[in-house]
C-alpha cells in the first residue's frame, strides 16, 4: 500500500518495522497481521514478489483479511500484473465495504488502470475514490493527470485545484516518491506530464 511510511527517516522506519514483524512471527508464526505487515515492508523495500507471498500467507491464515486482498492487488500492479488488481480489490470491498481505507483501495484500482493505459477506466475509479473520501489529495492529483491525458483540461485543472486546496505544499516531485519505482517508468512519466498539464506545481 502506498505511502505507509513517512519520507523522513524512511529507511530506519522500514528496518524497525521489518525487525518488529520478524520478532512477532518468531513468537507467533501463524499471526496473519504480522505476515501482512512483513509483506508491506518487503514490498516497500523493493522486494515486491516476496511481499505478495507474505500477504498471501496472511490470507491462508485469515482469508477475511480485507486489507491483504487489496494490498496484493496493488502490489501486482507493480510487477506487471495490473489486470489482476481489480478482482483483488473487489474481494476486499466485498469483505469490508465500509472499511476506513476503502478510498485507498479504489485509488489502487485507478493506478492499475493507468498502468494498463486505460485512462477512462482510471478516471471512473479515481472518482469513486474521491466520493468515498474527498479529503485524500492524491486521488485528486491522479484524477487531474488522467483527465489531462484524456484532453479534458478544464476538468483536470479543477481536480488539481481540489488537490492543492487539501495539500497546498504538494509538488510533482512528491509523486515520484509516492509511487514505487517498480511501476512502469514510462507510465509514471506520462502521469507526471498529465499533472504538469493540469497545473500541479513542479518543485
Give the pLDDT score at 184: 62
Residue 9 or 88, more confident: 88
Q: What CATH fold (topology level) applies to the domain 94-203?
A: 1.25.40
Task: Return the DSSP state at 127.
Answer: H
Sign of CA dihedral 37, 178, 15, 51: positive
Percent of the chain exceeding pLDDT 70 equals 92
Q: How many other CB atoms are found less than 10 A from the CB of residue 54?
A: 23
Specify the 3-state DSSP secondary structure of 79.
coil
Whether residue 88 contacts residue 73, with contact meaning beta carbons closer than 8 Å, is answered with yes
Q: What average pLDDT does the segment 172-188 reach?
A: 71
Task: Return the DSSP state at 184.
Answer: -
Give the pLDDT score at 1: 45
pLDDT digits (tens, 9 = 90+) for 2-55: 444 445 577 888 889 889 999 999 999 999 999 999 999 999 888 999 999 999
Helices 102-115 and 185-198, axial angle in degrees (round to 10)? 110
pTM for the predicted model, two decimal places = 0.88
Measure CA 117 to chain center.
17
Give the pLDDT score at 180: 55
Give the pLDDT score at 5: 41
Average pLDDT in the chain: 91
Q: Residue 182 pLDDT more than 90? A: no
Give the pLDDT score at 54: 96
Sign of CA dihedral 150, 151, 152, 157: positive
Of 18-32, 130-144, 179-193, the range with the highest mean pLDDT is 130-144
- Domain positions in the chain are 94-203
Amino acid at each position: 500500500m502506498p505511502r505507509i511510511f513517512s519520507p523522513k527517516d524512511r529507511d530506519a522506519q522500514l528496518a524497525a518495522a521489518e525487525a518488529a514483524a520478524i520478532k512477532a512471527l518468531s513468537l507467533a508464526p501463524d499471526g496473519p497481521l504480522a505476515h501482512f505487515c512483513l509483506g508491506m515492508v518487503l514490498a516497500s523495500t523493493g522486494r515486491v514478489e516476496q511481499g505478495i507471498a507474505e500477504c498471501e500467507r496472511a490470507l491462508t491464515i485469515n482469508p477475511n483479511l480485507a486489507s491483504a486482498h487489496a494490498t496484493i492487488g496493488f502490489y501486482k500492479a507493480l510487477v506487471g500484473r495490473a489486470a489482476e488488481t481489480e478482482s483483488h480489490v473487489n474481494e476486499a470491498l466485498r469483505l469490508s465495504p465500509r472499511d476506513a481505507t476503502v478510498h485507498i483501495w479504489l485509488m489502487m484500482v485507478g493506478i492499475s488502470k493507468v498502468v494498463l493505459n486505460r485512462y477512462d477506466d482510471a478516471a471512473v475509479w479515481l472518482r469513486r475514490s474521491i466520493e468515498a473520501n474527498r479529503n485524500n489529495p492524491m486521488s485528486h492529483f491522479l484524477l487531474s493527470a488522467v483527465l489531462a491525458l484524456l484532453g479534458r483540461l478544464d476538468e483536470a485543472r479543477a481536480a488539481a485545484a481540489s488537490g492543492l486546496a487539501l495539500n497546498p505544499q504538494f509538488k510533482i516531485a512528491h509523486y515520484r516518491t509516492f509511487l514505487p519505482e517498480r511501476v512502469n517508468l514510462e507510465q509514471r512519466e506520462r502521469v507526471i506530464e498529465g499533472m504538469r498539464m493540469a497545473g500541479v506545481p513542479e518543485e
